[in-house]
Structure 1
Amino acid sequence: MPHASPLFPISLNWLIRHGTTEDVPALIALDTYATQHASRRDFIHDAVVRQQCLVAVAADQCAGYLVLTNDFFSHGFVELVVVSPTQQRQGVALGLLAAAEAACKTAKLFASTNASNTASQSLFKKAGFVPSGRIDNLDEHDPELVYVKFVG
């Protein structure tokens, strides 16, 4: 994996940087959904090319990634956070969210998750996000919960 300057060090062993095209196969491999769905593989590749993908790396191994855009009503938006199953519950997602906050170019950073995804809800709360609303009818019988963090 190519070395790039870190955007945000998680610890002495971890860093977060922008993803590179060389990272794409590793990001797909750590994302169970991406291994089975071409649309997610394309999404990862496109996010890397647009420099919207932050990657957590340790010992030249990708442990997780986050996609950050400014497409949510012209505000920062965390479109996706994925951590390798072998690296979960080790602070990688929190580090990625902190790096997204640092990289956010707007005063508000939004994120969302399904009502059924209690792990993501806990993650957002732990990272300092607060509830901001709910969107019905995206997924059948599973509303999308929207969170915001004021960063500016």
Structure 2
Amino acid sequence: MIRKGEGLDFSQIATFDNFAGCRRTEISEDRLTVFDKDGDVVGFVVESRKGLLGRPYIEYLAVENRYRRQGLAAKLIQAIESKHAGKRLFISSEATNTAMLNLLKNEGYIMAGRIANANLSGADELYFFKHIN
């Protein structure tokens, strides 16, 4: 089940969250959405507060390792898309994250640009968009 994040979700999210940012703040600002599987939070997505160039932007997307490749990330992205009909939605990924790049291709995202060496690892960051109908 996909639902809005709640304060009690924080401890479960922390077990698989590798991103910077403050999940408590994102929950309090209604920007964090979770995938709840039988009472366990196994994935989340965060919308950026300010967007990207004035457009909606998915800032973080994570799914617990044992639940990956089951379509949960796609469902989380689709939940955000459903809120932005008629707009262009942006998302980014490290160039080395093959699973995410495949997901974005399968979901109809188009590459918009690249920032070379943007990540601490030295990997490029790739930006994508999709026109939401």
Q: So what's the TM-score if we normalise by structure 2?
A: 0.90
1:56 to 35, 43, 52: 35
Cα distance in 1 for partners of 2:34, 2:85 equals 18
Structure 2: stretches of 5+ with no match in the other structure:
none
Q: Which amino acid aligns with 1:108?
A: R
Q: Secondary structure at the match of 2:22?
A: helix
Indicate whether 1:120 and 2:106 are aligned. no
Cα distance in 1 for partners of 2:71, 2:85 equals 23
Cα distance in 2 for partners of 1:105, 1:25 equals 32
User: In the alignment, is the contact (CA less than 8 A) between 1:76 and 1:106 conserved in 2?
Assistant: no
2:54 to 70, 74, 93: 74
Q: Which amino acid aligns with 2:61?
A: V
Count the aligned residue pairs. 131
User: In the alignment, is the contact (CA less than 8 A) between 1:75 and 1:106 conserved in 2?
Assistant: no
1:4 corresponds to which residue?
Answer: none
Structure 1: stretches of 5+ with no match in the other structure:
1-14, 35-39
1:24 to 10, 30, 34: 10
Q: So what's the TM-score if we normalise by structure 1?
A: 0.79
Q: Which amino acid aligns with 1:144?
A: E
1:89 corresponds to which residue?
Answer: 69
2:113 corresponds to which residue?
Answer: 133
Task: Describe the superposition over 1:102-134 as per-residue Cα deviations: whole angstroms up to 9, x where unpaired.
Answer: 123761100001111111111111111111111
Q: Which amino acid aligns with 1:85?
A: N
Indicate whether 1:147 and 2:128 are aligned. yes
2:81 corresponds to which residue?
Answer: 101
Return structure 1 stretches of 4+ with deviation > 3 angstroms.
none
RMSD of aligned residue pairs (Cα, Å)? 1.7
Structure showing the higher helix proportion among its residues: 1
1:65 corresponds to which residue?
Answer: 44
Give the 3 Å change call, closer, same or farther, for CA 105–74 of structure 1 in structure 2.
Answer: farther
Task: Describe the superposition over 1:61-102 as per-residue Cα deviations: whole angstroms up to 9, x where unpaired.
Answer: 111000012421111111111001111111100100100101
